[in-house]
Chains A and B, each alone.
Chain A
C-alpha cells in the first residue's frame, strides 16, 4: 500500500551569516500517515531543516540559498506570507522539546488553544471552548475545566508537553513536526508521550516528522528513518532495514556505540573526533576525518545519496551517501 508524498524537501541549502552552512542539500520525503524519524547529533541541521519546513527560520541571519519544500504539491518557499501563515500552525504544526519555553506563561492553557482555533478555523468563542475541551480529552488531560483554566506553570512537565501536543493537533494538521518532544522528560513519562503520539497519529491520520538524537526512541516510533550528519542526509531506509543493515559508517558506529547490558565487559565502539562545526565542514564526505574506512576519494569528492542496488538483502528503498557502500569492514 503506497501512500503518496505529503512533504518533499528537495536539495535544501540553508546558511547562517556569515558562513555557517547548517543545511547542505537535505532531501527527504514524508508520505501520508508516515512517521519519519530524523536522527542526528546537535548541530547536524535537524532543527534548521524542520524550522525551514515550518517557515520559522529567522531570516536573517538564516538564508535559504537553494532547494524546494513541496507540501501537498505546492512549493511553500514561493508562497506569499499570507498563504504561508495559513499553512503554519494549521496544516503543519510543531511540538517542541521544551514546552515551558513555547507556552505563553501569561495565558491560561484554554485561551492558548482557543486562540489557535479562532485564528485558523474562524470558530466562535463558544465553539472554540467546546473543541478545546474535546482536544484536552484526546491528549489525556481530562476534559475538565481545571486544566483549561490553568497557567503553564501550574502544570507538571509531562502535562505541559501534553498541552503543547493539544495545541499542535487543535486544527487537525496533516503534518506534525515533533522536535525532540520527549528529550526533556523522564523515561517513564517518555514512554507515555510516545504512546500518546502514536495513538493520535492513528486516530487523526497525521504524518509525523519526528526529530531526535536518540536512536532508541526513533526505533520505537518511526517507520522510516533518515540519518543526518553535518547538514546532509547520509542514510535513509525503513526502520527494520536501517537497524538490521546499517550501511553508512556513521550509522553503523552510532548503533555500535550505544551502551547495552549485552556489551558488558567489552569496551564500546566509539567514534573518534568530534561533530564538525557548521562553519568548517570538512571537504568531500563530511564524515571522512572520523571514518575508519575513508580513502583519498572521500576527502575530495562528496558522495551522493543514492539507492542501494536492489537485491535479496535490501528491503524497500535504502539510500546511502558513501563511496564504499557495501564494503566489509566491521566484524
Chain B
C-alpha cells in the first residue's frame, strides 16, 4: 500500500494578540501530530469541539501555514514548496465543510459557484459547463437546476452541491469536516452513501472529521482520537472500537448515546469515574503551558508520573498506539 498523505510532527500555534482574554498568550491548537493516510482509505478523526480537529484539517491542507512539522502529499513535502508549485498540489486536495449554507455564495448561481475553480485554471467555457453538469448528475442533483441560487435548494441538496464543487478539481484527497452534522437525520444517510459511492467511483481518499463515534467507526479504516490538540490514541477501526486503551477513548465510547456497550475503564473497579464534577466536564481551552498529561484532570487512572512529563504515543501492537503511562502491557 502506498501512502497518499503523511503528517509528521505537525504543530500549529496561534499567537495571542493580547486582545480580549487571551492575554497575549499563544495557543497551541495542534501539538506535534503525526499520522499517515493510505491511498483509497478513510481516516477518521474524532474529538470534541475545541480539540483542534478543524485546525488540523486546515493546516494539513495548507490553508493555514503550520508552525512546524511536515506535510507530505504523494511523496512531496508541501512545506518545502514555493507558493507557485504549491498551487498545483492544492487542486488535488479539497475540503467539504460542515455548514453548506455558508459554504455557497448566496449571490451566485450554482453554475457560477461550481465553475469558479475551473475558471481559475483557464478551462474553456464549454468544457466547464460539461464538467459541472456531469458532476451535478453524479451527486444526484438535476443539472437543469444549475441556474438556481443556493436558497432554492434544501440542506441536503446544498451539501451535494458543495461536494460537487470540491470534485470539479479532480482531487485525490478530500477532507470532510463534519459533513453531515448540520443535516436532518433522514438526509444524513443519503449523503454518507453518496460519499461512499464517490470514493469507489473516483478512487478518492478521505480524512473524515466528526464528533460522532458511531459514524466514524461505520466509515473509517483507521481512527485517531484527539484531545486538546494531541492525538491520544490511533489504530484500526477494529482496535479502537473493540479494544480501546486510552481512558479518554473509553470515556468517549461510553458516552455514545443509545449504546449499552460499557467498556470497563482500566484500573477502575466501579462505573463511577473521576469526571463527575460539573466544572470538569468541558474541554479546556488550549494555551495552557502543559506539563504532564493533558488528560490528567479527568483521568481515572492517573498517577504521579503523569504530572512529571507528557506521555507520547507508544506502540501497543497491531498498529495501535496510545499515549498513556498507565496502560498495562502496552507493547505486545
Establish whether residues A158 and B278, one from each chain, have CB atoms under 8 Å apart when the complex forms. yes
A257 to B214 CA separation, bound complex (whole angstroms): 12
- Of B115-123, B167-175, B279-287, the one touching chain A: B279-287
Nearest Cβ on chain A to B40's Cβ, whole angstroms:
15
Given A259-B215, A261-B217, A274-B156, answer yes or no on A189-B189 (Cβ-Cβ < 8 Å).
no
B98 contacts A by Cβ under 8 Å: no
The residues in A between 201 and 218 inclusive whose CB is less than 8 angstroms from any CB of B are: 213-218
Chain B residue contacts of A274, Cβ below 8 A: 154, 156-157, 184, 187
A74 contacts B by Cβ under 8 Å: no
Given A41-B186, A213-B185, answer yes or no on A219-B258 (Cβ-Cβ < 8 Å).
yes
Chain A residue contacts of B254, Cβ below 8 A: 191
Nearest Cβ on chain A to B274's Cβ, whole angstroms:
12
Establish whether residues A271 and B218, one from each chain, have CB atoms under 8 Å apart when the complex forms. no
B192 contacts A by Cβ under 8 Å: yes
A280 to B218 CA separation, bound complex (whole angstroms): 35
B84 contacts A by Cβ under 8 Å: no
Nearest Cβ on chain A to B115's Cβ, whole angstroms:
25
Chain A residue contacts of B211, Cβ below 8 A: 186-187
A268 to B196 CA separation, bound complex (whole angstroms): 10
- Closest B residue to A44 by CB, please name it: B184
A258 to B49 CA separation, bound complex (whole angstroms): 22
Given A253-B186, A254-B185, A274-B156, answer yes or no on A215-B258 (Cβ-Cβ < 8 Å).
yes
Establish whether residues A263 and B185, one from each chain, have CB atoms under 8 Å apart when the complex forms. no
Given A215-B185, A253-B186, A270-B190, answer yes or no on A188-B258 (Cβ-Cβ < 8 Å).
no
B48 contacts A by Cβ under 8 Å: yes
Nearest Cβ on chain B to A169's Cβ, whole angstroms:
15
A42 to B156 CA separation, bound complex (whole angstroms): 13
Establish whether residues A158 and B282, one from each chain, have CB atoms under 8 Å apart when the complex forms. yes
A258 to B180 CA separation, bound complex (whole angstroms): 12
Establish whether residues A140 and B278, one from each chain, have CB atoms under 8 Å apart when the complex forms. yes
- Annotate A101-145 by CB proximity to B: 1 below 8 A, 0 otherwise: 000000000000000000000000000000000000001111000
Chain A residue contacts of B259, Cβ below 8 A: 216
Establish whether residues B237 and A261, one from each chain, have CB atoms under 8 Å apart when the complex forms. yes
Chain B residue contacts of A213, Cβ below 8 A: 184-185
The residues in B between 209 and 239 inclusive whose CB is less than 8 angstroms from any CB of A are: 211-215, 217-219, 237
Instruction: Count residues of B near A (Cβ-Cβ below 8 Å).
Output: 41
Establish whether residues B282 and A42, one from each chain, have CB atoms under 8 Å apart when the complex forms. no
B241 contacts A by Cβ under 8 Å: yes
A142 to B214 CA separation, bound complex (whole angstroms): 33
B251 contacts A by Cβ under 8 Å: yes
B257 contacts A by Cβ under 8 Å: yes
Chain B residue contacts of A189, Cβ below 8 A: 281-282
- Closest A residue to B47 by CB, please name it: A186
B329 contacts A by Cβ under 8 Å: no
A194 to B259 CA separation, bound complex (whole angstroms): 14
The residues in B between 23 and 65 inclusive whose CB is less than 8 angstroms from any CB of A are: 48-49
Nearest Cβ on chain A to B176's Cβ, whole angstroms:
14
Q: Report which of B196, B217, B258 forms a contact with A217, defined as CB distance below 8 A.
A: B258
Establish whether residues B278 and A268, one from each chain, have CB atoms under 8 Å apart when the complex forms. no
The residues in B between 244 and 274 inclusive whose CB is less than 8 angstroms from any CB of A are: 251-252, 254-259
Nearest Cβ on chain A to B307's Cβ, whole angstroms:
22
- Closest B residue to A256 by CB, please name it: B189
Establish whether residues B189 and A269, one from each chain, have CB atoms under 8 Å apart when the complex forms. yes
Establish whether residues B277 and A268, one from each chain, have CB atoms under 8 Å apart when the complex forms. no
A325 contacts B by Cβ under 8 Å: no
Establish whether residues A270 and B218, one from each chain, have CB atoms under 8 Å apart when the complex forms. no
Establish whether residues A258 and B214, one from each chain, have CB atoms under 8 Å apart when the complex forms. yes
Residues of A within 8 A of B (CB): 41-42, 139-142, 156-159, 162, 186-192, 194, 213-220, 253-254, 257-261, 263-264, 267-272, 274-275, 290
Selected A-B contacts with CB under 8 Å, 23 pairs: A141-B278, A186-B48, A187-B211, A187-B255, A187-B257, A188-B48, A190-B257, A191-B255, A220-B258, A253-B186, A257-B186, A259-B188, A259-B219, A260-B214, A260-B218, A261-B214, A261-B241, A263-B218, A268-B189, A268-B192, A271-B186, A274-B156, A275-B187
Kindly list the 8 A-B residue pairs having the minimum CB-CB distance in the complex, ordered from nearest: A216-B258, A257-B189, A270-B189, A259-B218, A216-B257, A186-B48, A268-B189, A261-B217
Given contacts A41-B186, A188-B48, A220-B258, 13 further A-B contacts (CB under 8 A): A156-B281, A158-B282, A162-B278, A186-B49, A188-B255, A191-B254, A216-B256, A261-B214, A264-B237, A267-B193, A268-B218, A271-B186, A274-B156
